[in-house]
Structure 1
Amino acid sequence: MTHALLTRREGAVLVLSNNNTAARNALSFEFYTAVTDALHEAALDPSVGAIVLTGEGGHFCSGGDLRQLAKRRELSVAERRVRLEGLHDLIRAVRDCPKPVIAAVEGAAAGAGLSLAMACDMLVAAKDAKFTVAYVKVGLTPDGGATAFLAEFVSRQVLTELCLTGAPLSGEQMYALGAVNRLVASGDALSTAIALATDISQGPQHAMSRIKHLCRHAMRHSLEDQLELEAQSMVEAMGSEESREGIDAFLNKRSPNFSQLHQVKE
């Protein structure tokens, strides 16, 4: 356990919370490694059905710690790259985690904080949350996949304006773009995200992992490539104990009990 990250369980939901409140939850190497490790552990834990990522003290994440970033001027380009990969490894860990990861955003999601929120599979945001590609304000350029994630929702021209101006988008604006799944009143993001995660956590874990993988590739694949990926997933799912339970439950007009299968190796 590290002070940079608070963890707790809400039933089958693992809650991971950024705990750098003095700096509006600015990122640190300690946080990168703690969350990455927690996601890897959750992937192997059948008792975890879904994950919620949030921040303490009313803010999701204000991005990189500028005091630390300023010190990187003294490092070589190669050394700077090594430090940056801590963030990118975290983004990859969110992407590759087989369990659904839901961001609960209050307050600021700025710079790499925006990247981290949008890396998640689903996003719950307060109406007055502020999403900002803030890098240009301090002479930096986006990282953590910010441009890739935003490009899924806005045109190149709008993306360029957001990155060149650093203008904030509210939770309401992000919801209108389709980047937010649930828009809630200030203070309700975490409870809503936990409720959503709890509902999802009851589902078939192997099937959900395959679905997450399909959804991650859908926008970038050609139809033929996506048909192939769907075919691979479907033929695997057809032979699973999860599909046996799900189909039997449907035919016998009962609710499926996937939780009994989560500790069974298929």
Structure 2
Amino acid sequence: MTSSATTRRVSTAVDGDVWRITLDRPEAGNAIDLALADALVQALADRPAETRTVLLLGAGPRFCVGGDVQGMAAAQDAPGFIGALAERWHDAIRAVITCPVPVVAGVQGAVAGAGVGLVGACDLVVAARSTKFRPAYGAIGLSPDGGSSWALARTLGAPRALELMLTNGTLSAADAHLFGLVGRLVDDEELTAAATALAAQVAAGPVRAMVRTRGLVRRAATTTLDTQLDEEARLIVESAADPESVEGITAFVAKRPADFRAAR
């Protein structure tokens, strides 16, 4: 790890060519308030240009328990407070989804409410086996925000997503993996090392081609086959003109490992 910085609610560090962002409000389960939402947006905007992957972690035993309910309870204008918080958190979700490099998350403990939407916005997710996922909104009489309804409907399907959200149920890490909300399960004590290793592996790859792939996969569920074929044709030509492809093809023919980091 070559450098680090801490802002209110979020800490950041350059770890090789990985930009590590850690939600850093462990005493509150990394509950989302305006300061944390602002800090996450800023941390993503501040990503050093030379880094090739973002690694998102949560400090303490819980990754993110969702919105700051204590702040909601204390607000004189609860609808105004919650609306402003949702709007800013949605800025953070959009920043994750549109990040110019792949985003890897390592999650543990509790992932609740808007934290579920954050996980759903990431490209690759590693979860500790004891992690529990819970929509949580129904417990306090709210409908979802933060992209959590999108993430759950996309991965579980509408019937399971509604069963989970309308009963305020809990999804185990094993079921989250089975249904596709997370891509990889590891033992609890291995989480940080496994997520870090995955982020480093991704950073060594053709990250611009990966971002194009990410877009294709996300759009696949809402587009026709003809449109998808047209997009694939457009983007593979774009990739072919990229130095990443030149390096990859050259390395393949030469029977050597590709050095995508040098393909600028």
Map of 2:190 onto structure 1: 188
One-letter amino acid matched to 2:244: E
Runs of 5+ consecutive residues of structure 2 not aligned to the other structure: 1-5
Identity of aligned residues (%): 37
Cα distance in 1 for residues equivalent to 2:85 and 2:40 = 16
Cα deviation, residue 86, structure 1: 0.5
Match of 1:207 in 2: 209
Q: 236, 240, 243: which is aligned to 1:241?
A: 243
| Aligned counterpart in structure 1 of residue 132 of structure 2, from 120, 126, 130 | 130
* Alignment of structure 1 residues 21-32 onto 2, 5 Å: 21-32=26-37
Deviation of the 1:247 alpha carbon: 0.6
Indicate if the aligned counterparts of 1:110 and 1:134 stay in contact, CA closer than 8 A: yes
* Aligned residue pairs, count: 259
Equivalent position amino acid for 1:74 in 2: D
Deviation at 1:172, TM superposition (A): 1.1
The C-alpha deviation readout for 1:19-47, integer Å capped at 9, x for no partner, is 111111101212112211222232xx342
1:36 matched residue in structure 2? 41
Q: What is the distance in 1 between the residues matched to 2:168 and 2:126?
A: 22
**Whole-angstrom distance in 2 between the partners of 1:231 and 1:72:** 51
The answer on 1:259 being equivalent to 2:261 is: yes
Structure 1: how far apart are the matches of 2:24 and 2:241? 43
Counterpart CA distance in 1 for 2:92 and 2:76 is 23
Q: TM-score, normalised by structure 2?
A: 0.92
CA deviations over 1:72-131 (Å, ceiling 9, x no partner): 461665x75333210111111110002111111110100011111121111100111010
CA contact (8 A) 1:101 1:121 kept: yes
- Give the CA RMSD over aligned residues: 1.6
The residue number in structure 2 matching 1:81 is 83
Distance in structure 2 (CA, Å) of the matches to 1:82 and 1:24: 21
- Tell me the distance in 2 between the aligned counterparts of 1:190 and 1:219: 31
CA distance in 2, matches of 1:259, 1:76: 47
Retained in 2: the 8 A contact 1:98–1:212? no
CA distance in 2, matches of 1:188, 1:237: 35
Q: Distance in 2 between matches of 1:107 and 1:215?
A: 28
Question: What TM-score, normalized by structure 1, do the two folds share?
Answer: 0.92
Q: Which has the higher contact order (CA 8 A, sep 6+)?
A: 1
Please tell me the residue identity of whatever aligns with 1:7.
Answer: T
